[in-house]
Structure 1
């Protein structure tokens, strides 16, 4: 089998019997190289299918012009929206993008971090799948001069640029909406404990109940994976055990959709008998009936700001690290 070989400056120089530096200068349009030589070099380069090696050129300037993006999953639209927005900004600034997902697995996340390091990325934008497990890796990469911008799910025990929404405040406001609409037995479908946002939303849930002097019932707080099947399972178990509840506040919209699906399959009316709401608020919240009330995160702005922050740190490693808190919007729909 014939192995493909990329044409190099060396190949062109050998063919024309001139130096590699002359070929390089001719290809860059250097006027110190004669017009005749420039034309010969360009013509032969086109004929031989020469393509400029951007990676080698960038590394000579101590930059790869590449940014890595690591997300926990790409099943829900939220992370895809953030990636697309960040990539648009990075493309405009001449950066290439490497995208990986950890599949909610810290070991896979660690592998992805090493992959980014091996590809000599200039910086990393990421959302973590666990609060603590890979902290040493984050610190090590920072010490080696690779800046990291964390978004949405951010570790608290590291000084770095972070782009978030105020989970606690928005969760409090959503709970207040449910309580003021007459709901007293609110089920909280919490995310897994390993995710930083889970604790903020749980705290808001408990504090809201306390504010309105509603007793906290441990039976009504369930931790689980942010998956549709989990929402279905929890509601199925609650209905079988005949544990009363009149509203659901969920960690994410896939949980909300799973809960809604099973509730409706049992002939229970939403929102008349049970109200449902949760975080994220992508288009998924609008393609079900009734449409879901949601804390809509500004995913496009989150991607843009994260990209701007990593570019700032790449261009000026000594620039300050900020925690940027974006405003999320509570969108009231038919489900509450």
Structure 2
């Protein structure tokens, strides 16, 4: 039979019985004689037969599979969220198929299509950086396929979401800088269409106002969150006649790029420029100086997103519920000015 998986049909043909007889014997059904049951189970053991959950699920119209789409599967941020999703999924007897969009809209569309072909029961998604329209998700909502978003979420869709309070998080960064003597606080932001960018930009403006500082347009620059583009944004800030005395990035990747450029120009962190990141990747603790960053409850985000998914399964329809979790500013050496 080669190396393909052994099926019920293979066992039935070898024994000259029906597929249903084999199926019932493997479940110790009383209608099948003890002798035949033993014979079928012995053959299944010898042939290393393993039940196919997908085939069984298709018969019940329930595959017990969840599709999860994330921008990447490399960073600890998404890996931890996936772990949270998987914990709740396992408790419900489900498992996850993970797909990375690679920050590409087209790849995200393909991921949705491929996961649905694999017969997942629904999707848990963090939008790619390139996603600006949601027609590929509207079709799922119209057909009541369970759909939950986390972190980067769409606007205007009647779906459950899990996010963090980005406004409060960035305000805490600005206040932290101010309390450490910083007065020219700069921010390297992300693409304008992303929900996380919009919330953090608002937090920046409100934080600056609360500290009694003027809002200066040239202290807010944007990038596409890639290291190269973030480096260019940092260069733009450092080329100003009057340097900023503090910079924070929309994520740690951006902050690391800024750190590299600050050092390249011979400036010291935090003496010349204090620095703060966002998402608190593991590398924050091993760079020099250790990076102050906003840590997310990533595992909890995953658990909550999965909880919303199963709420959709139980309701058998769609609803809108927006859960907002809190973050924590973890202060390290990169932002503590030595007075």
Instruction: Indicate whether the TM-score tops 0.5.
Output: yes
The yes-or-no answer on 1:60 pairing with 2:59 is: yes
Deviation digits for residues 80-128 of structure 1, max 9, x if unmatched? 1111221232133221211111111111111111112111211111111
TM-fit CA distance, 1:75: 4.0
Q: Secondary structure at the match of 1:335?
A: helix
Aligned equivalents of 2:131 and 2:100: distance in 1? 18
Aligned partners of 1:228 and 1:256 also within 8 Å: no
Aligned equivalents of 1:13 and 1:121: distance in 2? 29
Residues 40 and 10 (structure 1), Cα distance of their counterparts in 2 relative to 1, 3 Å cut? same
Residues 118 and 291 (structure 1), Cα distance of their counterparts in 2 relative to 1, 3 Å cut? same
Aligned partners of 1:129 and 1:195 also within 8 Å: no
Aligned equivalents of 2:275 and 2:25: distance in 1? 66
State the aligned residue count.
335
2:16 alignment counterpart: 17
2:260 alignment counterpart: 261
Residues 154 and 176 (structure 1), Cα distance of their counterparts in 2 relative to 1, 3 Å cut? same
TM-score by length of 1: 0.93
Which runs of at least 4 in structure 1 moved beyond 6 Å after TM superposition? none
Q: Matches of residues 157-196 of structure 1 in structure 2 within 5 Å?
A: 157-196=156-195
1:282 alignment counterpart: 281
2:80 alignment counterpart: 81
TM-score by length of 2: 0.92
Deviates more, 1:122-131 or 1:107-116: 122-131
Aligned equivalents of 1:111 and 1:249: distance in 2? 34
Aligned equivalents of 1:269 and 1:146: distance in 2? 52
1:151 alignment counterpart: 150
TM-fit CA distance, 1:5: 4.3
2:297 alignment counterpart: 298
Q: Matches of residues 204-219 of structure 1 in structure 2 within 5 Å?
A: 204-219=203-218
5+ residue gaps, structure 2, are: none
Aligned partners of 1:110 and 1:134 also within 8 Å: no
Deviates more, 1:26-35 or 1:129-138: 129-138
Aligned partners of 1:189 and 1:222 also within 8 Å: yes
TM-fit CA distance, 1:230: 3.0
Q: Matches of residues 34-53 of structure 1 in structure 2 within 5 Å?
A: 34-53=33-52
5+ residue gaps, structure 1, are: none
1:200 alignment counterpart: 199
Residues 230 and 77 (structure 1), Cα distance of their counterparts in 2 relative to 1, 3 Å cut? farther
1:103 alignment counterpart: 102
